[in-house]
Amino acid sequence: QGQAQTGPGVTSLFSPAVTSEQIEHLHRRFKQLSQDQLTIRKENFDSIPDLEFNPIRGKIVHAFFDKRNLRQESDGLADEINFEDFLTIMSYFRPIEMNMDEEQLDRFRKEKLKFLFHMYDSDHDGKITLQEYRNVVEELLSGNPHLEKESARSIADGAMMEAASICVGQMGPDQVYEGITFEDFLKMWQGIDIETKMHVRFLNVDTIAHCY
Name which of residues 6 to 35 contact other proteins (CB under 8 A).
Answer: 26, 29, 32-33
What mask of x and - would describe binding to other proteins in positions 193 to 212, judged by CB under 8 A? -x-xxxxxxx----xxxxx-
Q: Which is nearer to other proteins, 74 or 170 (CB)?
A: 170
CA-CA distance, 29 to 18, in Å (whole number)? Answer: 17
Options 7, 9, 126, 158; binder of other proteins; rule CB under 8 A: 158
How wide is the angle at C-alpha 55 spanned by C-alphas 53 and 57, nearest 5°?
85
CA-CA distance, 81 to 157, in Å (whole number)? Answer: 36
Window contacting other proteins (CB under 8 A); options: 7-15, 71-79, 102-110, 164-172: 164-172
Window contacting other proteins (CB under 8 A); options: 12-20, 72-80, 99-107, 184-192: 184-192
The answer to whether the beta carbons of residues 100 and 196 sit under 8 Å apart is no
Spatial CA neighbour of 39 closest among 3, 5, 2, 76: 5
What mask of x and - would describe binding to other proteins in positions 103 to 142, judged by CB under 8 A? -------------x--x----------xx----xx--xx-
Options 95, 110, 122, 127; binder of other proteins; rule CB under 8 A: 95
Q: Which is nearer to other proteins, 72 or 207 (CB)?
A: 207
Q: Is the dihedral of CA 64, 138, 180, 92 positive or negative?
A: negative
CA-CA distance, 130 to 65, in Å (whole number)? Answer: 24
Smallest distance from the beta carbon of 170 to other proteins, in angstroms?
6
By the rule CB under 8 A, 146 interacts with other proteins:
yes
Which alpha helices (DSSP H) does 121-148 contain, by range? 130-140
Smallest distance from the beta carbon of 207 to other proteins, in angstroms?
5
CA-CA distance, 189 to 183, in Å (whole number)? Answer: 10
Contacts of 121 (CB under 8 A, 6+ apart): 127, 128, 132
Q: Which is nearer to other proteins, 11 or 138 (CB)?
A: 138
Q: Total number of residues binding other proteins (CB under 8 A)?
A: 73
> In the range 68-87, which residues lie near other proteins by CB under 8 A?
none
